């Protein structure tokens, strides 16, 4: 090899090609902007996406710099596997768990920004001055039989012990993840029978299916009254058009409380009585059978059930709604439902 | 273009990653910032490998990638187990090592 060809080869390698320069000057700002955005953006998912953009840019830099194997490993392992892992954990933890903007240490952000500027200056300026005009030897000779083959040869000759240690590290990491992710089961194994039993015995569980979306009702059964969005009743029992409302009127007016309330329709509590009648029903999700009973004004055994509520009628005459929430459970419920009937009668 | 530009770029990325670790509260985002720093170091190693004309830098970058993968797996498992007990992924809430 003559001197001239050596010089030519050296010059060719030292100055990178224009294509590489174009790739660098296009992708380097993107990489830096993605990194800055990753630090600044609040949502963790956006952080992950910006990091993926940055990783792709760096992968292209690897490929341009005669390291195609590392470039593809970067895309497959980093941008593929690790970022999927990140997003998976992000979804497990909850996407809405974004950063709080409260500074626990005062002036931490400002300090971090100043530190970052100083650190960048400390790193960038010495590099710029020290390697300015430095010559790159290039990897053409080292990559002669192919980059992957060369890396493999090196990996299994000079670095074989490091390779073994790394494999041991990977095994330990896998075991450690299993240990950290494992949770001991508390109590015995829960079978189907036990689940069914819990469904009916545990308080607060809804046994029946929940009403469909858009249905303005707490229960799906026909004997509980569905309310219109304004709070009033739809025509018919429970909003069912076929059943006339008058069918339940005698049952309601038989109540002593209902009489008393309907005698005083101008009480201030009367317009709000649907709310009062809703109150015990909504306040009792802890006991479905107990709370669902008072919502049924048309039950045949209701007049019999009102006998403990007989002393109540003096109450609604002076502030029925105010008294409704503070009294005992059962008589007040009856009173509330009776008032609900009175309010309904006023609306018609 | 000088290959040293890659070094300057990776220095910038490393700095941004450091600032991210210092500023962010979400533990997962802190981990992402650490990934950014590791990538910057990898870019430095690959660039030096090219400047020196040997493949040792690339091998080192490869090892860094493997260690980073192991670190991410363990770290995310720790974050998950903390989240199970504390119901939070914020690094501010983890001021006790137990319970």
Quote the pLDDT of residue A233: 63
Q: Do A70 and B90 touch (CB under 8 A)?
A: no
pLDDT digits (tens, 9 = 90+) for A49-94: 999 999 999 999 999 998 999 999 999 998 889 999 999 998 888 7
Lowest mean pLDDT of A4-18, A171-185, B80-94, name the range. Answer: A4-18
Quote the pLDDT of residue A268: 44
Q: Can you tell me the mean pLDDT for A262-277?
A: 41
Task: Tell whether A231 is covered by a domain.
Answer: no
User: Of A3-17, A136-150, A310-324, where does the model show the most confidence?
Assistant: A136-150
The pLDDT > 70 percentage for chain A reads 52
Task: Tell whether A206 is covered by a domain.
Answer: no
pLDDT digits (tens, 9 = 90+) for A270-286: 444 444 344 343 433 44
Please tell me the distance from the alpha carbon of residue A85 to that of residue A42, in angstroms, as a whole number: 20
Question: Chain A within 8 Å of B64 (Cβ-Cβ)?
Answer: no
How many domains is chain A built from?
Answer: 2
pLDDT digits (tens, 9 = 90+) for B19-78: 999 988 888 999 999 999 999 999 999 999 988 888 999 999 999 999 999 999 999 998
Q: Which of A97, A130, A164 is the last residue of a domain?
A: A97
Distances (CA, A) of A332 to A252, A275, B6: 15, 13, 79
Task: Tell whether A108 is covered by a domain.
Answer: no
Task: Tell whether A54 is covered by a domain.
Answer: yes
Quote the pLDDT of residue A60: 94
Of A267 and A47, more confident: A47
Q: Do A142 and B46 touch (CB under 8 A)?
A: no
With H, G, I as helix, E, B as strand and everything else as coil, classify residue B26: strand
Checking if the pLDDT of A127 tops 50, the result is yes
Question: Chain B within 8 Å of A63 (Cβ-Cβ)?
Answer: no
**Phi/psi of residue A343, nearest 5 degrees:** -65, -40
CATH of the domain at A45: 1.20.120.1200
Burial A164-191 (b: 16+ CB within 10 A, else e): eebeebeeebeeebeebeeeeeeeeeee
Checking if the pLDDT of A252 tops 60, the result is no
Checking if the pLDDT of A318 tops 80, the result is no
Please tell me the distance from the alpha carbon of residue A131 to that of residue B78, in angstroms, as a whole number: 41
Task: Tell whether A42 is covered by a domain.
Answer: yes
Question: Chain B within 8 Å of A131 (Cβ-Cβ)?
Answer: yes
**Confidence band, pLDDT 50/70/90 cuts, at residue B14:** very high
Of A296 and A100, more confident: A100
Contact B11, A127 (CB under 8 A): yes
Best mutation site among B5, B32, B67, B84 for testing chain A: the one with the most A CBs within 10 Å?
B32
Q: Which of A97, A126, A148 is the last residue of a domain?
A: A97
Intra-chain end-to-end CA distance of chain B, in Å: 55
Question: Chain A within 8 Å of B39 (Cβ-Cβ)?
Answer: yes
pLDDT digits (tens, 9 = 90+) for A197-240: 888 888 877 777 776 666 666 666 666 666 666 666 655 554 45
Q: Which of A74, A97, A120 is the last residue of a domain?
A: A97
Task: Tell whether A89 is covered by a domain.
Answer: yes
Q: Can you tell me the mean pLDDT for A154-167?
A: 93
In this complex, the residue of B23, B50, B83 whose CB is nearest that of residue A65 is B50
Give the range of the structural domain holding residue A50, as residue numbers without chain letter.
16-97
Question: Chain A within 8 Å of B83 (Cβ-Cβ)?
Answer: yes
pLDDT digits (tens, 9 = 90+) for A86-98: 999 988 887 665 5
Quote the pLDDT of residue A75: 93
Distances (CA, A) of B72 to A84, A247, A267, B19, B89: 11, 69, 68, 19, 15
Lowest mean pLDDT of A14-18, A95-99, B57-61, B92-96, name the range. Answer: A95-99
ipTM of the complex: 0.93
Please report residues of B whose CB lies closer than 8 A to that of A104. 92
In B, minimum Cα distance to A23 occurs at: B1
Q: Can you tell me the mean pLDDT for A292-309?
A: 42
Q: Can you tell me the mean pLDDT for A247-261?
A: 42
Quote the pLDDT of residue A134: 58
Compute the mean pLDDT over every residue in chain A, rounded to the nearest whole number.
69
Q: Can you tell me the mean pLDDT for A155-176?
A: 94
| CATH code that applies to domain B4-86 | 1.10.287.3510
**If we measure between CA atoms, which residue out of A239, A241, A244 comes closest to residue A229?**
A239
Spatial neighbors of A69 by CB under 8 A, at least 6 apart, are A147, A148, A151, B58, B62
Lowest mean pLDDT of A104-108, A192-196, A256-260, B1-5, name the range. Answer: A256-260
Checking if the pLDDT of A32 tops 80, the result is yes
């Amino acid at each position: 090899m003559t001197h001239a060809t050596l010089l030519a080869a050296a010059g060719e390698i030292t100055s990178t090609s224009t294509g590489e320069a174009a790739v660098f000057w296009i992708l380097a700002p993107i990489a830096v902007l993605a990194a800055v955005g990753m630090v600044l953006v609040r949502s963790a998912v956006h952080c992950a996406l910006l990091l993926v953009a940055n990783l792709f840019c760096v992968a292209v830099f690897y490929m341009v710099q005669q390291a195609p194997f590392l470039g593809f490993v970067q895309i497959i392992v980093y941008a593929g596997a690790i970022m999927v892992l990140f997003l998976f954990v992000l979804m497990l933890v909850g996407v809405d768990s974004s950063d709080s903007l409260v500074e626990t240490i005062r002036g931490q952000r400002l300090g971090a920004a100043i530190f970052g500027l100083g650190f960048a200056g400390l790193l960038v300026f010495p590099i710029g001055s020290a390697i300015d005009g430095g010559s790159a030897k290039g990897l053409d000779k080292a990559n002669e039989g192919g980059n992957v083959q060369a890396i493999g040869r090196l990996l299994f000759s000079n670095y074989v012990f490091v390779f073994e240690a790394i494999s041991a590290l990977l095994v330990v990491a896998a075991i450690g993840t299993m240990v950290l992710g494992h949770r001991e089961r508390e109590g015995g194994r829960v079978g189907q029978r036990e689940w069914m039993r819990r469904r009916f015995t545990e308080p607060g569980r809804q046994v029946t299916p929940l009403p469909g979306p858009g249905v303005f009702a707490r229960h799906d059964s026909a004997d509980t009254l569905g309310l219109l969005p304004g709070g009033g009743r739809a025509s018919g029992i429970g909003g069912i058009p076929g059943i006339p409302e008058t069918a339940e009127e005698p049952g309601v007016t038989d109540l002593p409380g209902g009489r008393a309330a309907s005698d005083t329709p101008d009480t201030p509590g009367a317009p709000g009585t649907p709310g009062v009648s809703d109150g015990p029903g909504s306040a009792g999700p802890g006991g479905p059978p107990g709370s669902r009973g008072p919502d049924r004004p048309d039950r045949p055994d209701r007049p019999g059930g009102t006998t403990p509520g007989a002393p109540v009628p003096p109450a609604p005459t002076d502030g029925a709604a105010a008294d409704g929430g503070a009294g005992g459970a059962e008589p007040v419920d009856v009173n509330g439902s009776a008032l609900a009937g009175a309010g309904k009668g006023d609306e018609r | 273009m000088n290959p040293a530009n890659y070094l300057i770029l990776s220095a910038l990325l490393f700095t941004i990653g450091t600032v991210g670790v210092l500023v962010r509260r979400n533990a997962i985002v802190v981990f992402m910032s650490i990934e950014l720093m590791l990538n910057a170091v990898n870019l430095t190693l690959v660039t030096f490998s090219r400047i020196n004309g040997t493949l040792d830098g690339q091998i080192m970058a490869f090892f860094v990638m493997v260690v980073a993968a192991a670190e991410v797996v363990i770290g995310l498992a720790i974050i998950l187990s903390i989240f199970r007990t504390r119901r939070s992924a914020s690094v501010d809430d983890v001021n006790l090592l137990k319970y």
